[in-house]
Amino acid sequence: MSLDRLVSPGPLPDDDDPGTALRPSSLDNFVGQATIKERLAIAITAAQERDEPLEHVLFHGPPGLGKTSLAHIIANEMDGKLVTTSGPALEKTADLMGMLTNLQLGDVLFVDEIHRTPRSIEEYLYPAMEDFAVDFILDKGPFAKAIRLPLKRFTLVGATTRAGLLSSPLRDRFGLYFHLDFYTPAELEAIVWRSAGLLGVEIVAEAAAELARRSRGTPRIANRLLRRVRDYAQVKGHAPVSLEVAQASLQLEGVDDEGLDELDRKVLRAIVTRYNGGPVGIEALAATLQEETDTLTDVVEPYLLQQGFLVRTSTGRRATPRAYAHLGVEPPRRVDQQPLPL
């Protein structure tokens, strides 16, 4: 279930074609992240005026917020070709060398989840990023020779959900750093309107606002919910999409008023009912739910923590009064702990 959740911020297989169609191609069409847009626009314009490639760029933040879209935009704005790969896919030195040597002046190499690049491969990126050259080692032992091959000046765009796992030598070679944060409901509503226009979906203002409110601050989820509502309205013969239709569709999909799905509610229910509100360790919680620990910490917890349904303590996770209220459960009276803020 956790691998194909409708509200998962990570990409799903059915996101590919529609997601590409909905992806903005310029900064003018990119909604949200106003400060990042302004800083990036200044950097791009300055690089164009100097007639040189953009500095290497690192985007970090939760999944689904537009890191890949911004990489496409950089390539479009700089009139370069975008070459896409990911850290785990770079298993052999030859794979990276082939990509680097085929890059032309001004091209953009986008490495998603760059923190998962093997260390042996990462070391070949250092001279490529700093000196625009790669070192080949010919032969072995006493006959080994190093040959430096120059590269065309390119821009490396890295994306990561865990900036803290990047090694210092790699992180220091990026000239531009941008942290993407969750979107506001107003920004998500603008994204819903834009996507609805591209998909040819008629939708009323109340329904667009409802989709934005349940999208967990993530554009990818907003677009995914819009497509599910579109399908529901098409099959049921409702046009335009009204608030009632949007609510009925999302209820059928298991997405509640707070944007939580069944896995989110299972986590809260387990803490509230089986562990008396906590504290409970993440390993015990994962064993109870038969889920991977990484799934809970990387996929489920961030939104629950951000919205105040959970708190982390030194002894484990605890449910807040808001979690009890959402589940319709009376919180226990406890004299051994300080009350949690609402």
Q: Is the dihedral of CA 165, 43, 183, 12 positive or negative?
A: negative
- Residue 224 corresponds to which tokens in the numbers above? 């995914």
Which of 200, 117, 206 shows the shortest CA–CA distance to 166? 117
What distance in Å separates the CA atoms of residue 196 and residue 39, rounded to the nearest whole number?
28
What distance in Å separates the CA atoms of residue 289 and residue 283, rounded to the nearest whole number?
10
Which string of DSSP letters, residue by residue, matches 310-338? EEEETTEEEE-HHHHHHHT-PPPP-SSSP
Instruction: Write the Ramachandran bin of 254: left for phi over 0, alpha for psi from -120 to 50, otherwise beta.
Output: left
Active site residues: 67-68, 112, 161, 220
Q: What is the DSSP letter of 280?
A: B
Q: Is the dihedral of CA 309, 311, 317, 321 positive or negative?
A: negative
Residue 333's identity, in one-letter code, is: R
Rounded to the nearest 5 percent, the helix, strand and coil shares of the chain are 50, 15, 35
70 contacts: CB under 8 Å, gap ≥ 6: 30, 36, 40, 59, 157, 178
56 contacts: CB under 8 Å, gap ≥ 6: 129, 155, 156, 157, 158, 173, 174, 175, 176
